[in-house]
Structure 1
């Protein structure tokens, strides 16, 4: 069935919304995770991590703001993907949206750990009974808890990309290379983060999987976002 002008307009609006949100999310993730969070975790021990956070609380607050922006963008993308991919398969598109919303809920839960770190690093009066060594250990523990909980969420996110990749292939309109990247990225996310959670002693394997799947994990959804901005909704999907 040929889509109406109103349906095409709705598709284009959803495509533009998803594309913009994905670009904003990518920039926020580069800052919050790639720049700020990794610099704190690279300190090596609880004492150095604690010193890094307490001496850069403004930067740490900026990281939290970045994660909040990511969380909001994920909700927007879940809606926009559903609208855009609904003509391909309504029920599968809805399932994909629920997977992304489930991932977003896990990310939100993980962010609570960063709020606790912010409180611990503030040396508020009610923490006076906790010695410095304990505070350092707690800060490091909550930062690691954030990473592990987020890692669990990224397994769910891999399931979301699997559904989006299948729908991309079924659409006949979205370039096949994007579908391939999305499907490969879904396998990468699930493999890397299953290893991260359940095989923590095999750090070398996790790093190897990260290297192998790095390009599709980065290019899959980002490439889809660029295509959505340029071509998405200009005709039936």
Structure 2
């Protein structure tokens, strides 16, 4: 196996691991949080706080995997255009930093529910509202990270398209993914309640990122004469 194919398969493995862990954490968390209903969320958390802890740890692992995947893609694509490869790596680093900061809000309910001082200082309904506030802040922080995660797809998609050793359609998918993520970002902050307009873009994101990871892992890259 050539060196470039080793780089490609390493990038594909890391990216696929990121996608799987990110989805797993999101699915676990979605069964514990009812945004807009503090009481129901409190009941779910009281019975399954350990699942929230698992989601928190998996999210941290996912962020590290994404950063490593970006580094592996940088190694693979820097011969195409070093400056643009560095740009998408830096955008990824910024997104990971924002995401990890938002995870502190996800950890807050664990501190609140496990602290006798909080239990004494607040009424149960106040604690429920406080927990939901932090969970909402976590979601908002994660969406803020998407402006970096979305923007990194432009130089990444362009380099994949221009590489000559990866299919051009993968590059086009990644660029389309950029628009899908940006629609999600602006919808969340400007048009709350209109989630339906983000569904096509999120579907494209799923297809694009799974396609990239699987192609790199299974097919690798073609050798340029």
| Superposition TM-score, scaled by structure 2 size | 0.93
For the pair 1:170 / 2:162, whether they are aligned, the reply is yes
Residue 135 of structure 1 deviates from its aligned partner by: 0.7
For 2:15, the equivalent position in structure 1 comes to 22
The number of residues matched between the two structures is: 224
1:143-154 to 2 correspondences below 5 Å: 143-154=135-146
8 Å contact kept, 2:161–2:169: no
Which of 209, 215, 219 aligns to 1:227? It is 215
2:51 equivalent in structure 1 = 59
Aligned counterparts, 1:200-211, within 5 A: 200=192, 203-204=193-194, 206-208=195-197, 210-211=198-199
> What is the distance in 1 between the residues matched to 2:12 and 2:47?
36
Instruction: Provide the rounded CA distance (Å) in 2 between the counterparts of 1:236 and 1:75.
Output: 28
2:107 corresponds to: 115
Q: 1:103 aligns with which of 92, 95, 102?
A: 95
Query: Match for residue 5 of structure 2?
Result: 12
Measure, in 1, the Cα distance between the counterparts of 2:124 and 2:130: 10
Aligned residues: CA RMSD = 1.8
Q: Structure 2, unaligned stretches of length 5 or more?
A: none
User: Structure 1 residues 55 and 110, CA, compared in 2 at 3 Å: closer, same or farther?
Assistant: same
What is the distance in 2 between the residues matched to 1:117 and 1:229? 38
Question: For 1:68-217, what aligned pairs fall within 5 Å after superposition?
Answer: 68-122=60-114, 124-127=115-118, 128-200=120-192, 203-204=193-194, 206-208=195-197, 210-217=198-205
Deviation digits for residues 136-189 of structure 1 (CA, Å, limit 9, x no counterpart): 001101111011111010121110111111111111221122111101111100
Return the alpha-carbon distance in structure 2 between the equivalents of residues 43 and 121 of structure 1.
18
Deviation of the 1:236 alpha carbon: 4.5
Q: Scaled by the length of structure 1, what TM-score is found? A: 0.89
SS for the counterpart of 2:165 is: coil
Deviation beyond 4 Å, 4+ runs, structure 1: none
Structure 1 spans left out of the alignment, 5+ residues = none
1:233 CA displacement: 4.4
